[in-house]
Amino acid sequence: MEESQADPFKKLVELIKEEFKTIFSITFIFSLCGLIYALLATPIYKAELTMISNGDDLGSLSGLAALGSQFGILPSSDSQNMGIRDKKVAMAILTSREFILEYIDENDLMRVFFEDKWDLESNDWSVNKESIPTYEHALKLVRDNSLIEEDVMTGILKYSFEWTDANLAAKWVNDTVKEVNNKIRVMAIQEAEMSEQFLKKELKKTSQVGPKEVLFSLIEEQIKTVMIANTREEYAFKVIDPALVPIQRIKPKRKMIAVTSFSFGIFLSFLYLIIRRSYFPREIS
């Protein structure tokens, strides 16, 4: 019984001894290919920024907005104006098509993202007209390489971007958050000023004490919004840790590639021997 259990192990040892050169050759070839790929593959770096939303601090107007709506003194778009301060809205703007393409265009990043198709000497695309990258290609590239993650328990947001250029990856993350903050801050000022003008007009139309008190409160809130927006640069997102230029690459993972290619080489070598011995036994001397 013990001999029968030991037979498979003995056969395996004998197979390794008999076919050592074959096993070594196949494993060596795959390991070498994996090593070459790991060394030559373009390194990818990941820049990450940590932030929190300022939405909670800016949401105090919603209660007054609801109160004012009972008197019919707020414009119908006011709920949307309040919503711009919501965290999800700010996150949506950060990943929106319009915002991304506007940033790409302002910073002339098309030729950076598609540098393999850009000719520095002629300062033009080196491919034919049909192959020239479009803004849609750039948008897909950015969305495929960027990610926003939220810790539901703490509300902390992590915004990251992966790219072959470590400096560009860090610059993209830091600059886009700054741009979103500025965009929403300017928008909030404009909306608050428009709301204030509207409320002042409504104030002149009414002589009743109740509606007047509500209007004064709402005007005060609009003034407060403008004050906060003018003094707070990090209006929508407060950056806790800005993105630093990453030193270590995240791809390719050379150790993992080496181990995987080595293991795959061994597996294929044994598979080759099993098939050869099963279907071509006569070739084995």
pLDDT single digits (tens) 7-41: 666 766 776 777 778 888 888 888 888 888 777 77
**Same-domain pairing of 31 and 102:** no
Query: What is the C-alpha separation between 274 and 266, in angstroms, rounded?
Result: 12
Q: Which of 220, 281, 253 is nearest to 38 (CA)?
A: 253
**Same-domain pairing of 37 and 52:** no
Single-letter amino acid, residue 242: P
pLDDT over 90 percentage in the chain:
28
DSSP 8-state assignment for residue 60: T
Q: Which of 113, 149, 145 is nearest to 132 (CA)?
A: 113
User: Is 133 a domain residue?
Assistant: yes
Q: Is the predicted pLDDT of residue 167 greater than 50, yes or no? A: yes
**Same-domain pairing of 26 and 72:** no
Q: Is 136 exposed, middle or buried (0-12, 13-18, 19+ CB in 10 A)?
A: exposed
**Same-domain pairing of 192 and 92:** yes
User: Is 212 a domain residue?
Assistant: yes
What 3-state class would DSSP assign to 42?
coil
Q: Which of 191, 218, 186 is nearest to 202 (CA)?
A: 218
**Same-domain pairing of 76 and 206:** yes
Cα distances from 165 to residues 138, 155, 242, in angstroms, run 16, 30, 17
User: Is 246 a domain residue?
Assistant: no
**Same-domain pairing of 96 and 12:** no
For residue 30, what are the domain limits? Answer: 2-41+252-283
User: Is 247 a domain residue?
Assistant: no
What sign does the CA torsion over 33, 34, 37, 38 have? negative
Strand arrangement of the beta sheet that strand 237-241 belongs to = 146-150, 157-163, 45-53, 237-241
Q: First vs last Cα of the chain: how many Å apart?
A: 30
Task: Write down the H helix ranges in the chain.
Answer: 2-18, 20-40, 61-69, 78-83, 87-94, 97-106, 110-113, 135-145, 166-205, 209-231, 254-279
pTM of the model: 0.70
Q: Comparing 17 with 190, which gets the higher pLDDT?
A: 190
What sign does the CA torsion over 7, 13, 16, 17 have? negative
Q: Comparing 226 with 239, which gets the higher pLDDT?
A: 239
Structural domain count of the chain: 2
**Same-domain pairing of 162 and 74:** yes
**Same-domain pairing of 74 and 179:** yes
Q: Is the predicted pLDDT of residue 280 greater than 50, yes or no? A: yes
Mean pLDDT of 49-66: 59
Residue 6 structure tokens? 């030991």
**Same-domain pairing of 167 and 180:** yes
**Same-domain pairing of 59 and 19:** no
**Same-domain pairing of 27 and 96:** no
Q: Is the predicted pLDDT of residue 142 greater than 90, yes or no? A: yes
User: Is 170 a domain residue?
Assistant: yes
What is the greatest pairwise CA distance in the chain? 111
Choose the weakest-confidence range: 68-72, 134-138, 169-173: 68-72
Cα distances from 175 to residues 106, 180, 242, 266, 283, in angstroms, run 12, 9, 10, 48, 66
**Same-domain pairing of 28 and 51:** no
User: Is 23 a domain residue?
Assistant: yes
- Residues 127 and 136 sit within 8 Å (Cβ to Cβ): no
